[in-house]
A and B are shown apart, each in its own frame.
Chain A
Amino acid sequence: MQKAKENIMHVVFLVSACISVIAVITICVFLFINGIPAIGEIGVFDFLLGKSWKPLENQFGIFPMIVGSLYVTAGAILTGVPIGLLCAVYMAKFCPKKLYKILKPAIELMAGIPSIVYGFFGLMVIVPFMQDCTGTGKSMLTASVLLGVMILPTIIGVAESAIRAVPESYYEGSLALGATSERSVFFATLPAAKTGIMSGVILGIGRAVGETMAVVMVCGNQSILPERITSGVRTLTANIVLEMGYAADLHRDALIATAVVLFVFILLMNTLFSVLKSRSKN
């Protein structure tokens, strides 16, 4: 009796563990089944490299959106990574304990704030500010800044634990050679945490590329190739959210194909992340 119970529960645990595998497979299958035929119908080159997205005229080129997603993500990395890294260094090495007790929960809170609230904040505060500064409110620049803020907690979290994982002897050795503590941290400890920090950056890229609700509020959403940093852009995610509500037939399938492109990109990022993670463990 007891033996049977053990065995049954063992199977239950095993099946539960396999659910995440099943989920990933189902997600892949459903996205690809619905998306790939559309790509075939439009033509791979016309779809990926086509410069005009005009659903009414049956033109489905997502190149402007791919470029938009890449630019906005690059902007987010440019703003978020330096600030996040400096914060992480400060929090790991220089922060007084009392301040740390406030900063750490604050960063965690930043990670917990819903993206729709970030988007609302961007729309109400950053957009008018950018309007005054650069002339256009909803732009690539605004989206980059907002995304930069949103990926801060990810980068700070991963980078901080990477810095903390570096043996203290690196720092002490550098101090003993006469370097100041700032120099020691930045030139001895930080380089040793390189792989960990890189995996944080990749995680941040994944977040930024996949972010939807915040970006759609502030990026302007024009489906054309951006000319300046203050031009409006549309990202892959924004494209889906904006048009999925009323799309039909090939238009709908083209949007699902957009999600396929996004999904493949995220898979690549994930693979890169786990490769880096396993390397930093060795």
Chain B
Amino acid sequence: MEITEKKAVFSMSDTESVKAVNFRTWQQKLREYKHQPLSLFLKLLMLLAILLSAGMLVLLIGSILIKGIPSLIAYFPSIFSWTYTSENVSMTPAIVNTVIMTILSLLISVPIGIFAAIYLAEYAKRGSRLVKIIRITAETLSGIPSIVYGLFGYLLFVIALGLGYSLISGVVTLSIMILPLIIRTTEEALLSVPDSYREGSFGLGAGRLRTVFKVVLPSAVPGILAGVILAIGRIVGESAALIFTAGTYAAVPDGLTDSARTLSVHMYALLSEGLYTEQAYAAAVVLLVLVIGINALSGFAAKKLLRSGN
């Protein structure tokens, strides 16, 4: 009996046999911990920390859903009516504005970001001074707080260029804000494309440009997409940078120079007026569901990248 068991162990792969040797039941573990109070303490601390963090997330999502869904139902369907009035603080204009704002910002920053990443990953010489400067500035951009972006947008677009509180001021401000995110994720995606793809393409006589657009970019799409989706999440959640650029006017704008509030700004406006807590809860639910959806999508795209990378 014993012999057959040993045979079984050795026929397993290396890591598995190590695992089998190291295997202990939880009673054995507990007995070991009795002599190692520090180890037990550390383990408990870690579990406590995980519980706390996960608990906070659950508490946050739970508390908003539990209070928000009833108020969403209570105000349905008027809270989704097309126009906003002070009696009926509809969030539909804000949702439409969020979509418009997102699409326009992406239209500006995705091409620029991807082109910049192509330059950094495919064209620039390694270690050149320009590349260093570009990297430092991109990192700086990603560290600037959104309220500073807001003030900058206010000073440049609203005041200096005379655009006023407008959709376009908000869009350009947001585009600058998400640019470093797009650059970084795209660059990572481009760098993860194996060099053999490029060599193959060059070997077949394709030029650099064609290699980039026909060979490298297509295989980096999932990674780029994951970055773009993350950027969408940031745009949807942004409020501080928009209050002083796009303003808080609660209607779907007629043109680029009209003020427009997004859903996050809508929530802030409701809260600062202090009269619409329940409607703010409803808006929070919609916002939260959006963000969770966006995150799931981004994770899905990243997973696809991993699979294609293998």
Chain A: residues with CB nearer than 8 A to chain B? Answer: 2, 5-6, 9-10, 12-14, 16-21, 23-24, 26-27, 30-31, 34, 82-87, 89-91, 94, 103, 105-110, 112-121, 123-125, 149, 152, 156, 180-183, 186, 203, 206, 209-213, 217, 237, 240-241, 244-245, 255-256, 259, 262-263, 266-267, 269-270, 273-274
Chain B contact-residue range equals 35 or more
| Cβ-defined contact, B179 with A17, below 8 A | no
Of A183, A241, A256, which is within 8 A of B155 by CB?
A256
| Cβ-defined contact, B151 with A117, below 8 A | no
In the bound complex, what is the Cα–Cα distance between A6 and B183 (angstroms)? 21
| Cβ-defined contact, A120 with B280, below 8 A | yes
Question: Residues of B contacting A256 with CB < 8 Å?
Answer: 151, 155
* With known contacts A20-B116, A121-B63, A237-B145, A212–B240 Cβ distance under 8 A: yes
In the bound complex, what is the Cα–Cα distance between A115 and B295 (angstroms)? 15
In the bound complex, what is the Cα–Cα distance between A2 and B46 (angstroms)? 60
In the bound complex, what is the Cα–Cα distance between A152 and B264 (angstroms)? 22
* With known contacts A14-B119, A20-B141, A213-B240, A108–B295 Cβ distance under 8 A: yes
The yes or no answer to B294 lying at the interface (CB within 8 A) is yes
| Cβ-defined contact, A90 with B291, below 8 A | no
Question: Residues of B contacting A91 with CB < 8 Å?
Answer: 50
In the bound complex, what is the Cα–Cα distance between A186 and B179 (angstroms)? 38
What mask results when residues 139 to 158 of chain B are scored 1 for a CB within 8 Å of chain A, else 0? 11101111111011011100
Query: Whose C-beta in chain B lies nearest to the C-beta of A203?
Result: B143
| Cβ-defined contact, B36 with A180, below 8 A | yes
| Cβ-defined contact, B160 with A274, below 8 A | no
Question: Residues of B contacting A82 with CB < 8 Å?
Answer: 49
| Cβ-defined contact, B116 with A210, below 8 A | no
* With known contacts A6-B207, A109-B57, A237–B49 Cβ distance under 8 A: no
Question: Residues of A contacting B209 with CB < 8 Å?
Answer: 5-6, 9
| Cβ-defined contact, B243 with A241, below 8 A | yes
Q: How far is the CB of B286 from chain A (nearest CB, A)?
A: 11
- Chain B interface SS verdict (over half): helix
Query: Whose C-beta in chain A lies nearest to the C-beta of B154?
Result: A244
Report which residue of A83, A90, A120, A241 has the largest number of chain B beta carbons within 10 angstroms of its beta carbon: A120
Q: How far is the CB of A261 from chain B (nearest CB, A)?
A: 10
Of B115, B149, B152, which is within 8 A of A13 by CB?
B115
In the bound complex, what is the Cα–Cα distance between A109 and B296 (angstroms)? 9
* With known contacts A12-B115, A86-B46, A270-B139, A241–B147 Cβ distance under 8 A: yes
The yes or no answer to B8 lying at the interface (CB within 8 A) is no
Question: Residues of A contacting B244 with CB < 8 Å?
Answer: 244-245
Of B64, B137, B233, which is within 8 A of A21 by CB?
B137
The yes or no answer to B125 lying at the interface (CB within 8 A) is no
Chain B stretch 2-38: residues in CB contact (< 8 A) with chain A: 32, 36, 38
| Cβ-defined contact, B144 with A103, below 8 A | no
| Cβ-defined contact, A87 with B119, below 8 A | no
Query: Whose C-beta in chain B lies nearest to the C-beta of A185?
Result: B42
| Cβ-defined contact, B38 with A183, below 8 A | yes
Q: How far is the CB of B248 from chain A (nearest CB, A)?
A: 9
| Cβ-defined contact, B60 with A263, below 8 A | no
Of B115, B140, B145, B208, which is within 8 A of A209 by CB?
B145
Supplied contacts A6-B209, A20-B116, A269-B143, 5 more A-B pairs, CB within 8 Å: A31-B155, A106-B54, A114-B237, A117-B60, A121-B59
Question: Residues of A contacting B63 with CB < 8 Å?
Answer: 121, 124-125
* With known contacts A24-B140, A107-B53, A118–B60 Cβ distance under 8 A: yes
Question: Residues of B contacting A23 with CB < 8 Å?
Answer: 137, 141, 176, 179
Question: Residues of B contacting A121 with CB < 8 Å?
Answer: 59-60, 63-64
The yes or no answer to B56 lying at the interface (CB within 8 A) is yes
Question: Residues of B contacting A105 with CB < 8 Å?
Answer: 295-296, 299
Query: Whose C-beta in chain A lies nearest to the C-beta of B112?
Result: A16
The yes or no answer to B133 lying at the interface (CB within 8 A) is yes
Question: Residues of B contacting A245 with CB < 8 Å?
Answer: 243-244
